[in-house]
Chains A and B, each alone.
Chain A
Amino acid sequence: MADRAHTLSQVLPQLYRFCFLMTGEGGKALEAFQNTLREAALLAARGILPNDRLWCFHEARHQCIAITQHDVQPEPAAMIEEPITPDAALRVAQLEPEQLAAWISAAPEPQRSALAFFYLNEFSHREMQNLLDVKMNELASLISHGRSQFQAWLNTVTADPGAT
Chain B
Amino acid sequence: MRRWLSRRKRALIECAPISDAPPSDRAMRSALESAKTIPEAAASLTAQQQFDQALAQLARKIAIPKEAREWFVNSELIKGPKRSWKKTARHPAILATALAVLVMLGVGIFMFLEQLHKFPGSATAKKLLVVANQTRRAQLDPLNTDAINLGDYFFMKFQLEHFDIPMQFADFRATGARVFEDEDGHRIAQVVLAESGMQFFLYAAEKNEPPQRVGQGDSGWGYVDGEGWAGAVEERNGVCFMAAMRGSEDELRSYLSDRRR
For A, the interface residue count at a CB cutoff of 8 angstroms equals 55
SS class, residues of chain B in contact with chain A: helix
* Closest A residue by C-beta to B46: A86
**B75 contacts which chain A residues (CB < 8 A)?**
7-9, 12, 37
* CB contact under 8 A between A124 and B25, given known A1-B17, A51-B80, A118-B15: yes
For B, the interface residue count at a CB cutoff of 8 angstroms equals 46
**A150 contacts which chain B residues (CB < 8 A)?**
55
Q: Which of A111-156 contact B (CB under 8 A)?
A: 118-121, 124-126, 128, 136-137, 139-141, 143-144, 147, 150-151
Interface: A34 (CB within 8 A): yes
Are A151 and B51 closer than 8 Å at their CB atoms? yes
For A30, give its contact among B24, B61, B65 (CB under 8 Å): B65
For B59, give its contact among A34, A119, A151 (CB under 8 Å): A119
User: What is the 8 Å Cβ interface bit string for chain B, positions 161-176, against chain A (1 contact, 0 not)?
Assistant: 0000000000000000
Q: Which of A3-57 contact B (CB under 8 A)?
A: 7-9, 12-13, 16-17, 20-21, 26, 30, 33-34, 37, 40-41, 43-44, 47-52
* Closest B residue by C-beta to A135: B11
User: What is the 8 Å Cβ interface bit string for chain B, positions 1-36, against chain A (1 contact, 0 not)?
Assistant: 000000110111011011101011100100000000
Are B71 and A121 closer than 8 Å at their CB atoms? no
* CB contact under 8 A between A95 and B25, given known A30-B67, A44-B78, A50-B80: no
B contact set with A: CB distance below 8 Å: 7-8, 10-12, 14-15, 17-19, 21, 23-25, 28, 44, 47-48, 50-65, 67-68, 71-72, 75-81, 83
Some 26 contacts from A to B, beta carbons below 8 A apart, are: A1-B19, A2-B19, A7-B75, A7-B79, A8-B78, A9-B75, A12-B68, A16-B68, A17-B59, A17-B64, A44-B79, A49-B80, A52-B80, A84-B44, A84-B47, A92-B55, A92-B57, A101-B62, A119-B56, A119-B59, A120-B56, A121-B60, A124-B17, A140-B12, A141-B11, A151-B51
